[in-house]
Chain A
């Protein structure tokens, strides 16, 4: 059951990282000169999203 719950939790995180990557790539295509700063922001945003998925991973292992 825990594994199924983790899968459900990852759906949201996957969507979140996908959206972040979508925004980053499309704005890099529009404005290639802000690539460096966008990369930092993208990594930062995906780190926040990823934390939620990883908390799910820990809870799966504990429960």
Chain B
């Protein structure tokens, strides 16, 4: 009787390799990988959803009806009230388009990625690094606009610290500002990647434990198939957690972008 766990490490290597970007069209420098393909799918879905929402909202007049329109309105209002008004204060109107588009882009990418057979556009480091770079440039430009270039660079160090410590704190703050770029990208990428690896592991376990039963019937093989049902149950639980993570990570990325914008804009720091 073979132990199904013997071949687990090979299967795991194959699983992790399956997450690497491969070119569908062209090559890896200029071309379409599976992640960018699903990113375009998510963008297309997002565009359709937004335009249908706008049309239906205009038809209904001021009182929205139906699950779809109300659901979308809930999302937009959550983004507006919780992320923009709650954090940014008076200048929320200026930043709302940026915040909302980042939120919806990441949310739709994450949700498309959770569907079995699809890949998340945000599940490769390139997409998340680009998003983080956009957010990074945005908050720096906002800071430089509100305080002036020199003023923003000076404002990295908190006021009220005397001279020699001032320079040290400034260097540390400069470092942590650039670290924001890295952590924004890595957080989103890793949450998606790690979540999908965990789901894949339990799917691999479920299939490995069913193989002995397919090769020939015996009591032990039946017992192992019973264990496979247990793995599938865990897989379903993790799938539910991943749905939650998809929403929370979109929220976290947007929340952090809003916090950074608010920090760049605020006078006292």
Shortest distance between the CB of B104 and any CB in chain A (Å): 18
Question: Is there contact, CB below 8 Å, between B186 and A51?
Answer: yes
The contact string, 1 if C-beta is below 8 Å from chain A, for chain B 178-207, is: 000001001100110010000000000000
The answer to whether A44 and B82 have CB atoms under 8 Å apart is: no
Chain B residues closer than 8 Å to A54, beta-carbon distance:
186-187, 190-191, 194
Residues of B within 8 A of A37 (CB): 86
B259 touches A55 (CB 8 A): no
- Is B252 among interface residues, defined by CB-CB distance under 8 A? yes
Q: How many residues of chain B get a CB closer than 8 Å to chain A's CBs?
A: 16
The contact size tier of chain A is 10 to 19
Check B251 for interface membership: any CB of A closer than 8 A. yes
Interface of B (DSSP majority class)? helix
A35 to chain B, nearest CB (A): 12
Q: Dominant SS at the A interface?
A: helix
- Asked whether A40 lies within 8 Å of B183 as measured between CB atoms, the reply is no
| A43 contact from B87, B191, B251, Cβ within 8 A | B251
B255 at the interface (CB under 8 A from A): yes
Residues on B with C-beta less than 8 A from A15 are: none
Query: What 0/1 pattern do residues 250 to 269 of B give for CB contact below 8 A with A?
Result: 01100110010000000000
A58 within 8 A of B: yes
- The smallest beta-carbon distance between B254 and chain A, in angstroms, is 11
Give A residues with C-beta under 8 Å from B: 36-37, 40, 43-44, 47, 50-51, 54-55, 57-58, 61
